[in-house]
Amino acid sequence: MTADTNIQQVPGQPVAQTSYGPVRGTDDGRVKTWKGIRYAAAPVGELRWRAPVPPAPSSEVMDATAFGPVSPQPRSPIPMGLGTRADEDCLFLNVWAPSDVEPGDARPVMVWVHGGAYIFGSGSQPLYDGTVLAGGSDVVVVTINYRLGALGFLDFSSDGFDTNIALRDVLAALRWVQDNIAGFGGDPDRVTLFGESAGAAITTTLMAVPAAAGLFSRAIAQSAPATSIYDKARSAAVSRQFLDRLGMTAAQAHRAPVQALIDASQELFDHVPTATPGLLAFAPTVDGELVPDYPVTLARAGKTHPVPLLIGTNKNEAALFRFMRSPLMPIAPKAVRTMFDEIANDQPGLQLPTAEEVSLAYPARLARTRSLGVASDVGFRMPTLWFAEGHSAVAPVYLYRFDWATPVFKAIRLGAAHATELPYVWGNLVGGPRDVTFKLGGLKTGEELSQRVRARWTAFATTGDPNVPIGQPQWAPYRSDDRATLVIDRDDRVVDDLDRQIRRAWGNEVLSFR
């Protein structure tokens, strides 16, 4: 697909043709950028809690030089810098491509789904600026917004609304990519869906969604809480709690001011993990329509899309939530015990680790330190291993663990906490003068590590294999006989069966947060 030859081409302002009309971006000599491209009609009015619909076409050249609004959301406990204002009309995406790219060049494409506990974040966060990733790696990078919190994850299907709105938004964005990315120099047959945290769980969920077949050919899941997906009964219960806080029916909430929804979302978001440790207020739903079953269950049954997968977690995931004093993860010993009791009541046949197994798997002197390890593994590492083992039967899987921590992060006991790998994946290592990440050193090592990570991630997007000829360890696919795992640190290494001890403690029966 090429731009209309009748459209005036201005130096530094590249025009790309989409199926909904031409869009004009910018070119700084390193990357071409198009920001704020609408991929679906405004999801407002009657379209609240409805599946996204295509935007209206236009023959006029649309300005794509500024980010579009992001999904309305509460204030995050961590300053995220959303990049622009929030508005319910939020279904926009952004594209970065190398400056030398031309329509039809068929470069690999990487589509990013941001994290944020299903309630925070955007595709326009400065951390996700695609300049370094696209400009230095010969890939086309796409970041997307999707509806968050109550707007994207509540289930009002009993009142005639659609389920899994946020998943449907991501699917609509992927369809836009299939239809239009060739006009930006991308290859629709080489699309890698990648995300972190909630975005990674959306990625693993879509790997088990029939409607996603053919929309992406590879996947990368960074710190995926792959079991954070709930059944219809739980989703309906959360929706009722939400309406109770509003004092409205679903029909009334459909017409309510968006700020009222955001305020109730905040209350529910804070309440649920406090009342029931290990659970979130908002998550995808096994609705039997879009999502037929739990993604980990489908992966272990060999029913995920047979696309290569790169997946892993960080060594100290739960340390971030301790640092934030957040209830999102049960990091105190009492909260962990409460979580185990809730799981035992909900799934009485499930074998949970005994006190002796916990002591062997987490040999720490303090109970609180052991609880951090338990929280990290129940929330992130074990779901990742369960999904990886299942999916490895249908496609190559590359498993990693990110262990690198800067001197500052070690000093404040963050270590390789949740989300600390993100700057290295994107190549955006210093987030401004207030960023303390490298205040005690480590920047040179961090830059070298970022180059290695970006080389592997983009090689995977290009070929489906993350190995690159840079004198680094050979990263073999994950198999049950050796369970090869890449440990990403100051010096990377491949370790066989890195997770042997915790696998023995948790076993092979999947723990599902229903």
Give catalytic residues, as residue numbers.
197, 317, 418
Q: What are phi and psi of 384, to 5 degrees?
A: -65, -45
**CA-wise closest residue to 18 among 4, 36, 35, 33:** 4
Give CA–CA dist 123/134, Å, rounded: 15
Please return the burial class of 41, using the count of CB atoms within 10 Å of its CB with bins 0-12, 13-18 and 19+. Answer: middle
CB-CB contact of 273 with 280 (8 Å): yes
Rounded to 10 deg, the angle between the 333-346 and 367-376 helix axes is 50
Give CA–CA dist 202/295, Å, rounded: 10
Give CA–CA dist 274/146, Å, rounded: 26
Helices (H) and strands (E) in the chain, counts: 17, 16
Q: Which tokens in the block code for residue 135?
A: 């400009």
Reading phi first (left if > 0) and then psi (alpha if -120 to 50, else beta), residue 449 is in alpha
User: What one-character DSSP code corresponds to residue 55?
Assistant: P
Give CA–CA dist 423/196, Å, rounded: 12
Q: Which residue type sits at 297?
A: T
Residue 367's Cβ-side half-sphere holds a number of Cα atoms within 13 Å equal to 9
Provide the 3-class DSSP secondary structure of residue 215.
coil
The secondary structure of 285-336 as a DSSP string is EE-SSSS-S-HHHHHHTT-S----EEEEEETBTTHHHHHHT-TTS--SHHHH
